Amino acid sequence: MRALVCESPGFLEYKEINAPALKPGHAIIRIKRIGICGTDLHAYEGTQPYFNYPRILGHELSGDLIESDNANGLVPGEKVTVIPYFNCGICIACRNGKPNCCTGLKVCGVHVDGGMVDYLAVPSYSIIHNNGLNYDELALIEPLAIGAHGVRRAEIKKDEFVLIIGAGPIGVGTMEFARIAGAQVIAMDINESRLQFCKNKLNLEHIINPSHDNIVERLMEITKNDMPTVVIDATGNRKAINNALSYLSHGGRFVLIGLQKEEIIFSHPEFHKRETSLMSSRNATRKDFEYVLDCMKKKLIDPSTYITHRVKFEEVKNEIKSWLDPANGVVKALVDME
- For 42-66, letters b (16+ CB in 10 Å) and e give bbbeeebeebeeebbbbbbbbbbbb
Question: 2-139+302-336 belongs to which CATH class?
Answer: alpha beta
Residue 310: the pLDDT is 96
Do 44 and 57 meet the contact criterion of CB atoms below 8 Å apart? yes
pLDDT tens for 231-286 read 999 998 999 999 999 999 999 999 999 988 889 999 999 999 999 999 999 999 99
Q: Residue 70: pLDDT above 80? A: no
Task: Name, in order, each residue with C-beta under 8 angstroms of 36's C-beta and a sequence gap of 6 or more.
Answer: 60, 320, 323, 332, 333, 334, 335
pTM equals: 0.94
- In angstroms, the Cα distances linking 296 to 171, 190, 241, 303, 332 are 18, 29, 30, 8, 17
Mind listing the pLDDT tens digit for each residue in 53-68? 999 999 999 999 999 9
Whole-number Å distance between alpha carbons of 112 and 59: 10
Mean predicted confidence (pLDDT) in 41-53: 86
Given this model, what pLDDT does residue 59 score? 96
Question: Which tens digit of pLDDT belongs to each residue from 194-240?
Answer: 999 999 999 999 999 999 999 999 999 999 999 999 999 999 899 99
Residue 330 or residue 204, greater confidence = 204
The band of 330, judged by pLDDT with boundaries at 50, 70 and 90, is: confident
Asked which of 80-84, 176-180, 320-324 is least confident by mean pLDDT, the reply is 320-324
Sketch the domain layout of the chain as residue ranges: 2-139+302-336, 147-280
User: What phi-psi label fits residue 36: left (phi over 0), alpha (psi between -120 and 50 degrees) or beta?
Assistant: beta
E-assigned strand segments in the chain: 2-8, 11-16, 26-36, 55-56, 60-68, 79-82, 85-86, 106-107, 119-123, 127-129, 161-165, 184-188, 206-208, 230-233, 253-256, 277-280, 307-312, 332-336
**Percentage of residues in the chain having pLDDT higher than 70:** 100
Q: Is 147-280 CATH 3.40.50.720?
A: yes
Q: Is 77 left (phi over 0), alpha (psi -120 to 50) or beta?
A: left
